[in-house]
Amino acid sequence: MKELQRKLSRKEKGSKNWEKAEIGVAKLHHKIANSRKNFHFQVAHQLCDQGEMIFVEDIDFRVSAKGFLGKSMLDGGFGQFRTILKWVCWKRDKFFAQVDHKYSSQICPNCGTHTGKKPLSQRQHICPECNYQTTRDHAAAEVLLQRGLEATQEVRMDVAERKLPSNGDLSGSVFDWLDKCRSRNTQERS
């Protein structure tokens, strides 16, 4: 890409050769976007091969892109990956839900103790309470999994108690559905 852009900058703007070089740059952009999308689909299918439920954290990547990781967050196409993953889950009949990400890297997945903020350089989770040790990302993933399972458990109990929803439709986010339940309950009470 750098080479092509260098060539483009050397051409006289508006000339035939400049036009050719510009088309070359555009083609490569297209190719990069396509191979990234293919890669995202491959990974999404690999994840679906491994389990029945997938929980992802509800981070707003547009906000992160403004932060310290900067534009590389957008370059990586994290938002696109989440969208593709959700679609592949739907296609393959796997459960997909987004989970609250707050403090997921500050809680011990083994005993629930708040272990405080880890600097990004600290790659290990070592719990001062129960001595549970694992990598930082694995610990956070375990916390997210527990949150996801707890939320689905709540929904299951709701379904069992009130026989809702009768059509068994749990598509979309568990949380959307929980929100609907809660607002309906509030309305009934008032």
In the complex, the residues that contact Zn ion under the rule CB under 5 A are: 108, 110-111, 113, 127, 129-130, 132
Among 61, 69, 146, CA closest to 103: 146
Least gap, CB of 115 to Zn ion (angstroms): 7
C-beta closer to Zn ion: residue 23 or 111: 111
C-beta closer to Zn ion: residue 80 or 106: 106
Among 143, 118, 144, CA closest to 126: 118
C-beta closer to Zn ion: residue 98 or 115: 115
Specify the 3-state DSSP secondary structure of 165: coil
Nearest-angstrom CA–CA distance, 78 and 61: 7
Specify the 3-state DSSP secondary structure of 108: coil
Least gap, CB of 122 to Zn ion (angstroms): 16
Least gap, CB of 140 to Zn ion (angstroms): 14
C-beta closer to Zn ion: residue 97 or 107: 107
C-beta closer to Zn ion: residue 130 or 157: 130
Least gap, CB of 112 to Zn ion (angstroms): 7
Is the distance from CB of 87 to CB of 172 less than 8 angstroms? no
Least gap, CB of 107 to Zn ion (angstroms): 9
Among 89, 25, 77, 84, CA closest to 51: 89
Q: Which helix (H) or strand (E) holds 3?
A: helix 2-10
